[in-house]
Structure 1
């Protein structure tokens, strides 16, 4: 077989050679999730959190027909300020590579690339899921099916709160994806520590999550794990407080005919404006928190 078109940064290549812990990081949070310059500042801060916790960060993106596994400072800056970056998932990753497009990887695409690179842990903000009104639109994120088939442990603050969380949880259960709340029984909801739903599973330390990851491999089970890590208390926006802003943003998206891959960036931007920046600050806090936990899990996995 021809090897996949992977290009490793010097730091990631050295970590792979040494068997050191590595954490994959997505790039759509840079290109589609936050405005400039908060996007590149957050990317650097998240990478610093991973390093401080004892692992090597590997931010993943697609450029010039290669999957870049790890970006240096200049490459991060260039990606953050670029204007024509595709948002890549499973369906268009191969075409982007074959055509030489510049692309940012979603949760699904980052999982695929992490697996190809031999990286077992991935930190993000929130996964995609079942959109509200999916019973008529059929709008369901590819992130869910990717979790069911690609063996990467994903640390996120649950699914994004703009989604139908109950239906998202049902689909994950149907697909056999372990949904593990970290340190609490409630399923977190991105900006909020509680969604009103109970998580199917709870684990309280990184070592337990790493052991579950290894056991899935021993059992030959496909797919990964979703670790639902609640936002820090001092950064939380309670569900009852954020709900009206979500409703208003959803109504605006419907009026303006926003659909498909444009929906989530539009909603996050509108909610950020509606909360006068609090939602963005919370988003930054939760992804940094997720990076810390992911690094601890990666360290445990590297111990064998």
Structure 2
């Protein structure tokens, strides 16, 4: 029988041995989230940003059925360019490994694998959440229930504004997931700085986040995830008026074309890219680079 153990890239293996700070990174942004050839360039920039802030990047993905924490550049290039790369949530990992597939991990899968590898900090762009009209479709991202049972800190820019933000925050509360605003008491909406919803808690430094992590470990009570919602500065967000128009048009197009399920998010993000003439893509890149830097600073503070 084949060896299905998690593999570790050389840099990550050394960092684990030396107890250096590590930041987990997803691979769906490489294979599904960004257009070619920007995807590989941005993936490398994300890793470089983590290194520059003092931590080791651990991009997680699967090549030929081998689940790896800390893809090397050749593996990263493969996932960025190969056709038919599967989008792996937690439920898909074992099946894809047994099939010898290529796969990119979602927020949910990356969180689960990172914790299995002893990595408590993860940087991404935005979380999945409750979809609009979920009361009829029951369409909710696996990110939420995974965070409820996975003790990881996820640095993100909130949830994508194409979702039902209010319902997502309600579900996070029900599932016991801690949500911290970074420098804000308002929940960010990915492309936009303020989604219109208040938060109960905020932190203002990586050291404060590290203290939350330490308190959680000491108490042993909270076993779920912590979301650090890191908004874009207002002068770096997508113009809110342009955002609202683009979202309304995209939702109407979605209904006309009958797009449902997993296809909804990539469809709407592609619509944003084309309708804003690439401006939303530039915002998306700013988001993930800022989150990668903050996650690295938190990892450094937590290691201290």
TM interval, shorter chain, is over 0.9
Q: For residues 4 and 224 of structure 2, what CA distance do their matches in structure 1 show?
A: 20
CA contact (8 A) 2:63 2:75 kept: no
CA displacement, residues 240-279 of structure 1 (integer Å, 9 cap, x when unaligned): 3301111211222222222222211111111111111110
Q: CA deviation at 1:182?
A: 0.2
Q: Is the Cα contact below 8 Å between 2:49 and 2:293 reproduced in 1?
A: yes
Distance in 1 between the 2:172 and 2:200 partners? 10
Where does 1:1-304 land on structure 2 (aligned, <5 Å)?
A: 5-220=5-220, 221-303=222-304
Q: Deviations over 1:139-164 (max 9, x none)?
A: 00010111111011000000111100
Contact 1:24 1:123 (8 Å CA) reproduced: yes
Gaps of 5+ in 2: none
SS of the residue corresponding to residue 104 of structure 1 reads strand
Aligned-partner SS, 1:30: helix
Deviation sequence 1:56-110 (CA, Å, 0-9, x none): 0000001223211112222111110111011111221221122221111000000
Residue deviations 1:18-45 (CA, integer Å, cap 9, x gap): 1000000001111111100111111011
In the alignment, the residues of structure 2 paired with residue 163 and residue 100 of structure 1 have an alpha-carbon distance, to the nearest angstrom, of 33
Partner of 1:98: helix, strand, or coil?
helix
4+ runs deviating over 6 angstroms: none
What is the alpha-carbon distance in structure 2 between the residues aligned to residue 178 and residue 144 of structure 1?
11
Question: Whole-Å Cα distance in 1 between the matches of residues 139 and 145 of structure 2?
Answer: 13
Q: Is the partner of 2:188 in helix, strand or coil?
A: coil
Native 8 Å contact 1:232 1:289 kept in 2:
no
Q: Contact 1:4–1:116 (CA<8 Å) still a contact in 2? A: no
Provide the rounded CA distance (Å) in 1 between the counterparts of 2:258 and 2:210.
Answer: 43
Q: Tell me the secondary structure at the aligned position of residue 198 of structure 2.
A: coil
Deviations 1:164-209 (A, max 9, x none): 0000000001111111010011111101111111122100011111
Equivalent pair of 2:4/2:97 in contact (CA under 8 Å):
no
Kindly indicate whether the alpha-carbon contact (under 8 Å) linking 1:158 and 1:187 is maintained by their aligned counterparts in 2.
yes
Deviation of the 1:218 alpha carbon? 2.2
Partners of 1:25 and 1:246 in 2: CA distance: 27
Partners of 2:233 and 2:82 lie apart in 1 by 31
TM-score under structure 2 length normalisation: 0.96
Tell me the distance in 1 between the aligned counterparts of 2:251 and 2:90.
Answer: 26
Secondary structure of residue in 2 paired with 1:119: coil
Q: Decide whether the 8 Å contact of 1:130 with 1:165 is kept in 2.
A: yes
Note the C-alpha offset of 1:239.
3.2
Question: How big is the shift at 1:10?
Answer: 0.8
In structure 1, the gaps of 5 or more residues are: none
Give the aligned length: 301
